[in-house]
Structures are given as structure tokens and as C-alpha cells.
Amino acid sequence: MIWVITYIGVVLFLVLMYKYLTRNYNHWNIRKIPTARGAVLGFGHMLDVMMLKKNLSTLLQETYNAYPDVSMVGLFDFDQPALLIKDPELVKTVIQIEFASFSDHMTLNIFADPLLTMDPAFVNGEKWKHIRGMFSKAFSVKNLKFISLVAKYECDKLVEFIDKKFDKESVVDVNAKHLFSNFTAQVVAHMIFGVDGEAFDDFHLPESFRTMMDAMFEANVITGIRQNIFFSLPLVGKLLNVGFVPSWVNVTFTRVVNEIRELRKSLNLKKYDILQQIIDYEADNKYGDVVACYAFLFFIEGYETSSLTLSSTAYLLSKYPKFQTKARKEVDRVMDKYKSICYDAINEMTYLDQIIQEAIRLFSPVASMQKICTKSITLQGVDGLACALDPGDVVFISSVGIHRDEKYWQNPNDFNPDRFAKGSEGYRKHMYLGFGEGPRKCPGKRMAIVQVKAAMAIILKNYIIEASSRTVEPVKIEPKYFLTTAQGGFWIELRRLTCSYLSQKLSQFSMSNEGSSQSSNQSEKRPLSDYEDELPQAKRK
């Protein structure tokens, strides 16, 4: 008798569980919205994401492509309905026109991720507006000139780092992401703290900035599981106290920031860097002591997506030498004019800007967006489909789906920087979402463009970029990572420019007077502290 009762209890439990897990499965049918095939009980459409077979952006792109003739598609994020919008006009509505109805982003567990409490991606309301003010101040023209100066200094060190490898090899075969992560780690360490990030050292110390960033962003199973828990299973994350940032990184980074602050306080020193501006901006402690949070935010804004963009840009230039040659000619012309990589020189490299925008179109580091409805609204597609959304409903946008849609781009899978030429009909707003759009667009865009263009310019000036057989073709997106990078990495081969080419450039430089040439050569090797005559002076109270 006991086994019969047990059997009935188990069956009843399974039936109730099934009913609970499928309670929303008619959600899209009732609203007459096409529903993506392949939902799995309990997981919805997210099983492959949770099993680390696909990242979310790949899943959304595949869903986007599977329904070419509709403006929206219904999905299930586990058991919760989520709407994928495909029509650029709907995208414009969600991220700009009706921003007030989609102003919030996901929140986080502040106990597991204390360093992310000031990240605009995870805060809302007045706090988000306060953070926007900090970014507006930090990325003024004055500060961008400072950032470009830091980038120039680190570009010289990047060349030295690469040239050391030529002592043993005639061709340097390198993982582009690893190479450029060293560069961006150096730039942000100098820009924020005024210190050497030691990323170009042969050995990265356990507590170095580069090591901390790798612990967060290196694509592997552990990182993939942690990021899936953070983005898809927030309740599990709170229960297990698992955050996006490893706990030791939270502790170490905060300690480093506090040590630098205490050192400056003891010396009564104010420096011209981002950290000092954060300290001054948050002097009233409106949200408590959040200096470390801001510093961390600037670090991750400048580190990961910029290195991803540099790696995909270098890879694409290795595959399309004619565009590489054209970009090199522009770099040489501009650098002949300014004699170095400076803010004005970077702004004048318009073709290089087109190349970077096109690389982002094809391999957007952030290839999808998630918006949360905050006010009831009905979205109307150009095909007549309409969907009523309530507060709390989730909307997905596949940036890469739109970027590679032949309805909006001619030969969308081809690399063609001329799409972004001034006056070109190949580019239309809201069909290019490389940095997002609307009030929530990427706050670090201008900083990213400065350091990406600086690094790519110095590479083109000194090396020929060639394709490497170590890149897995066709390129597949790494599934154990929430951003966009190639599975196995983007590999490139670097060769020094030929002697005849260098001789030609040297002869051009020899036309300038000897005195100015000597001055220019000396300036290239100065330590960063020697550049203070070109910046607002460091101050002592």
C-alpha cells in the first residue's frame, strides 16, 4: 500500500511540475506571435546556452535568421516569455522613441558583485542619471586628449613588445586578442591610476590588472558557468552568492584602489588621471564610498570590448589586404603630418574609422541587447504583427542579426569599409548597433575609439598583417563566453614592413630639418611622466 501511495505522489508531483513549467507556453500563440521552435521543458530555448554549446547572441541570431519575413518572434527564457524584435523601426521605438517604457536593465546582487554597483548596465533611475554625469565629465575633449597621449605612450611599448619576438622569429604568429589585451590593460591602468599595468611583462603577477581581467573574461567552462548563472539564473546566483566578478577580484581590486588613494592622501598629491576625477566627483559621497566601483567600471569599459574590436579588425585586415594597404597609406599620411599619434591625428584617420566600424558590424563585441519593459506598451511591426507588453516583460534585440541582414546591407557577410564612408547609402541609423543607440548607448564609445584607432595605426605603420592558419575557418563564435570572439581565437601573422618601404618613409622624413627630427625621436622614448608639460599639471594641495 505504501508503494502505491508513493507512486501516486511521485506522479502527482511530476504532473504539477509539468503544469508549472508549461504554464506560459501558450503565451505567444494567444497573442498570435510566431513562436520559435525547439523549446525544451524547463529551459525554454536556453538549453544550448546553459550547456555552453552556444552563447546567447548566437542563439538570437539563429532565431532571427530562421524567421526572415516577420518583425518579431516569441521565445522562452526558461519558462518566461521573451520577445525578439527584428524590425529596425521597432528597435528605434524600444531604445529611443519609447525609451521611458524600456528604461530599466537587469539588476544584480550587490553582495556578490559590489564593484558593479555603479555600472550603468545594472542600475536604473536617478542613480543611472548620476553615473551618466560622471561619464560625460570623464570623456570630455580635454580628457580624450589625455587618453590619446596615454595611448601614444603605450603604442610605443606595444611595438617594443612585438619587436622582441622578432629576435627569434621572422614572422610573429600571435593570438590577436591576447596581444591587444596587453595593450588595453596598459592603457586603462595608466589612464585611471597613472601606473604601469605591467601587462607587457613576460610573466603576469597573480594580482596584476591583466590577471584580474583574465579571471573575469577568459573564455573557459568555469567563466561560462559563472556568467550563465549571473545572466540567466540570478536567484541561483543570490542563493550561492555567485556573481559576475570572482570574489578575489572584488577584494584585490578594491584593496589596490584604496592603497593608491591612501598614498596620494599621505603625500597630499592630486594627479591628472581618471581616479582623481572620480574622487573629486564623488566628494559628497551621495552613494557612499564608490570610488573603487567607478574605477573598476572604467577599467572594464576600456579593457575587454576594445581588445575584442582590435582582434577582429586585425583579423579582417589580414583577410583583405587591399583595405589594409589603403588604411596604411592614410596612417602614413596623417602621421607624416603630425609626427606622432595624437588626438588630432586620430580624428583625422577617417578611413581607419570606417574599417573599425565595419569590423564591429561583423563582429560586435556586444552582439545582442536585452531590454525590460517598465510601462505597458503595444509594439506594432511593419508586417502588421502587434504585441502588448507589460512591465517586467523582456525584449531581445539581435544586433548581429540586423548587421548581417541582406534586407539592410548589400552583401552583408562581406567586409567592406566603404559602407561607412561619409554620404554613403550603405549605412542607416538603427541598422547599425555596434555601440547601441539612445540614452543607454555605450558610455565609453569615444574612449574606445581613441585607443583602438591608436593601436591599429601603430600596427599598420610598423607591420604587415597576414592571415594565420591557426584561425579556425569558417569562424565560429566562442560559446563559453557572453561577448563575441572567435572559437579558438583570431590569429594573425605580423611581418615587419620591407626595407624598401621603410627606406621610402625614411627619405620622406629626412626632408624635415634635422633639429625637429631629433626632437621627435627623443620624445618617442620619454617616460609618461615627462609628458606632463603637455597636460594640466599635477597639483599638490
- % of residues, the chain, pLDDT over 90: 62
Average pLDDT over residues 266-270: 88
Average pLDDT over residues 494-523: 51
User: Binding residue per annotation — 155?
Assistant: no
User: What pTM did the predictor assign?
Assistant: 0.88
CA distance 239 to 308: 32
Nearest to 272 by CA among 507, 494, 531: 531
> Does the pLDDT at position 96 exceed 50?
yes
Compute how many other C-beta atoms are within 10 angstroms of the C-beta atom of residue 364.
26
Compute how many other C-beta atoms are within 10 angstroms of the C-beta atom of residue 332.
17
Average pLDDT over residues 279-294: 76
How does residue 366 score in pLDDT terms, banded at 50, 70 and 90? very high
Task: State how far Cα 63 lies from the chain centre.
Answer: 23
Is 34 within 8 Å of 28 (Cβ atoms)? Answer: yes
- Mean confidence (pLDDT) of the chain: 87
Average pLDDT over residues 515-529: 42
Average pLDDT over residues 201-225: 87
Q: Which residue has the higher pLDDT, 497 or 371?
A: 371
Classify each residue of 216-227 as buried b or exposed e, where b means 16 or more C-beta atoms within 10 Å of its C-beta.
Answer: bbebeeebbebb
CATH homologous superfamily for the domain 123-319+463-541: Cytochrome P450 (1.10.630.10)
Partner residues linked to 372 by β-bridges: 104, 394
Q: Is 239 exposed, middle or buried (0-12, 13-18, 19+ CB in 10 A)?
A: exposed
**Bond from prior residue into 474 cis (ω within 30 degrees of 0):** yes
Which residue in this structure is represented by grid cell 622614448?
525
> Does the pLDDT at position 427 exceed 80?
no
Nearest to 339 by CA among 179, 221, 508, 171: 508
How does residue 426 score in pLDDT terms, banded at 50, 70 and 90? low
Which residue in this structure is represented by grid cell 538603427?
430
CA distance 102 to 93: 10
Q: Is 20 exposed, middle or buried (0-12, 13-18, 19+ CB in 10 A)?
A: exposed
Give the pLDDT of residue 438: 86
CA distance 539 to 536: 9
**Rg of the chain in Å (alpha carbons):** 25
Is 364 within 8 Å of 433 (Cβ atoms)? Answer: yes
DSSP 8-class letter at 152: H
Q: Which residue has the higher pLDDT, 148 or 429?
A: 148
- Reported residue count of the chain is 541
> Does the pLDDT at position 339 exceed 60?
yes
Partner residues linked to 386 by β-bridges: 380
Give the pLDDT of residue 15: 79
Is 392 within 8 Å of 454 (Cβ atoms)? Answer: no
Contacts of 360 (CB under 8 A, 6+ apart): 309, 312, 434, 435
The fold of the 1-116+369-410 domain, in CATH, is 3.30.43
| Strand ordering across the sheet containing 394-398 | 72-77, 80-85, 394-398, 368-372
Give the pLDDT of residue 122: 84
CA distance 261 to 253: 12
Give the pLDDT of residue 286: 65
Give the pLDDT of residue 518: 41
CA distance 282 to 262: 16
Average pLDDT over residues 327-336: 97
Domain ranges across the chain: 1-116+369-410, 123-319+463-541
Give the pLDDT of residue 123: 83
Identity of residue 313 = T
> Does the pLDDT at position 258 exceed 70?
yes
Nearest to 35 by CA among 63, 13, 5, 6: 63
Task: State how far Cα 505 lies from the chain centre.
Answer: 35
Classify each residue of 265-284 as buried b or exposed e, where b means 16 or more C-beta atoms within 10 Å of its C-beta.
Answer: eeeeeebbbbbbbbbebbee
Nearest to 464 by CA among 325, 307, 323: 325
CA distance 110 to 116: 7
How does residue 519 score in pLDDT terms, banded at 50, 70 and 90? very low
- % of residues, the chain, pLDDT over 70: 89
Q: Is there a shared CATH topology between the 1-116+369-410 domain and the 123-319+463-541 domain?
A: no
Give the pLDDT of residue 376: 94
pLDDT tens for 34-72 read 999 999 988 999 999 999 999 999 999 999 999 999 999
